[in-house]
Chains A and B, each alone.
Chain A
Amino acid sequence: MSSRNQGSSLLLLTLCLGLALTVMPLPQVVEPARPYWVAMILIYWNLESGRLRYLGQAFVLGLALDLLTGTLLGQHALGLVILVFLLERFRNRIRFFPPWQQAMAVFVLLLNERIIQLWIILLTDHGWPVWTWWLAPLVAMLFWPWLFLILDSLRRRQRQLRS
């Protein structure tokens, strides 16, 4: 149980950082291609330390995102819940993939999430998104190995500090 609590401050910190990156101002041209930071951080913690595995956690995180970004309440929540469900289904396989294959898995998961978002956007009469909007999962894939390394080293350092 103590191993679960250990490092939850780091988990919270990275999640807050992800939320901050989500609303960070970007030039209008690249804004639609902003990677889904919170989902990537969630995937990392899920795969590497087995935390954030409950659908309820994903749901709450999604609601927080909805409130933060002013989207329809439940839009991000739905995407994240489905993402965590799929992740859990293939978790044991994805965990032992080499990094590039893992990045591909992240790409597929995020692309699926985009398709869910597209469905909601079209249902609410917002029209088709610009084509750069589809680049977001690709950008996330390119960032994934680096995010993985950074979070891994942070976690290792924290563990060293504790012991």
Chain B
Amino acid sequence: MNIPGSTYSSASTAELAGRTARLMLYALLAVILMTLDFRGRHVERLRALTFGLAEPVFLVIESPFRLVVSLRASLRDHQGLLDERNQLERALRESEARLLLVDELAEENAELRELLDATDQLESRFLTAELRNIDLNPYSHRVFINRGTRHGLRQGLAVIESAGVVGQVDQVAGRSATVILISDPDHALPVRLQRTGLRTIAYGSGQIDELRLTDLPMNVDLEPGDVLVTSGLGGRFPAGLPVAEVVEVQRPTGEAFAVARVRPLARLGSIRHLLVIELEAPGPLPGLAPMAEDEAADNLPGEDA
């Protein structure tokens, strides 16, 4: 069309062929990388390494937003702060009153467990965390929090918020970490149906507001509105944390298993404040020391996240 001369045109065709070849090469390389990342998780170590290296970059990127937030906080007026303080104080007093009851229940529970000769429940420690002002790709189902190895975080710790389970710690750097959400297609969470005690596994669906139960028996007793809690199997999550609510149960004809769609109770899309739960392995019981150790060892690998 607008090619000035034949010599130029032949040169450009050769060049074009070269470029196409290189395009194919790079595209192939990208596809191989994606496959490795998706299937085999071979690049996990590379990712962990680069995450540590990239952390300062994240901190630098975040700093202007942090400045804006702190500026806004310092410009708040006196009266508003006082009101908020009063509100918080009231909320705190209410929670304290509720905690008193819980304390008593915990004591009673411990006594009952002693009577039954059951093993101690896993001790847990909480660590508050906040989301960093960094948006990761929504399709990565990860959030970025402001706690890291310095605060004692390690891979696999459970992360919750006030409404329910959020996910678990994925990659850890010095002062920050990524949390994989329970909605990630790679994530599986052992759950228990609160009403019937049925145990199953909730898989991430890739949608931020949906999980799936895919291996239910056909005659399962499950209704919309039923609440799922963590079962504590796998040892990563303490038992009894609210996870999700059943939305819909499907029993497709010709299939071996019923399928249910459930909605996570935690607001995965709009969380800001999180709690990281640090489970401590139960202390060895007198006379049962080797077994307790076995149990602790069993608890470590946990479920495949």
Interface size on B, residues (CB 8 A): 43
Specify the main secondary structure of chain B where it touches its partner.
Answer: helix
A-B Cβ contacts below 8 A, count: 105
B185: chain A residues at CB < 8 Å are 124-126
Structural contact, B54 and A73, CB atoms closer than 8 A: no
Of all chain B residues, the one with the shortest Cβ separation from A70 is: B140
A77 to B47, CA, bound (A): 15
A62 to B33, CA, bound (A): 12
Structural contact, A55 and B22, CB atoms closer than 8 A: yes
A59 to B134, CA, bound (A): 23
Structural contact, B23 and A85, CB atoms closer than 8 A: yes
Separation in Å of the A28 CB from the closest CB of chain B?
A: 6
Stretch at the interface among A19-27, A42-50, A100-108, A146-154: A19-27
A82 to B185, CA, bound (A): 27
Interface size on A, residues (CB 8 A): 39
Of all chain B residues, the one with the shortest Cβ separation from A85 is: B23
Structural contact, B37 and A23, CB atoms closer than 8 A: no
Specify the main secondary structure of chain A where it touches its partner.
Answer: helix
Select the residue from B31, B37, B139, B185 with max chain A CB neighbours within 10 A: B139
Structural contact, A24 and B135, CB atoms closer than 8 A: yes
Chain A residues with CB under 8 Å of chain B are 19-20, 23-26, 28, 31-32, 34, 55-56, 58-59, 62, 67-75, 77-78, 81-82, 85, 88-89, 92, 120-121, 124-127, 129
Chain B residues with CB under 8 Å of chain A are 2, 16, 19-20, 22-23, 26-27, 29-34, 36-38, 43, 46-47, 50-51, 54, 57-58, 61, 65, 133-140, 142, 178, 185, 205-207, 269-270
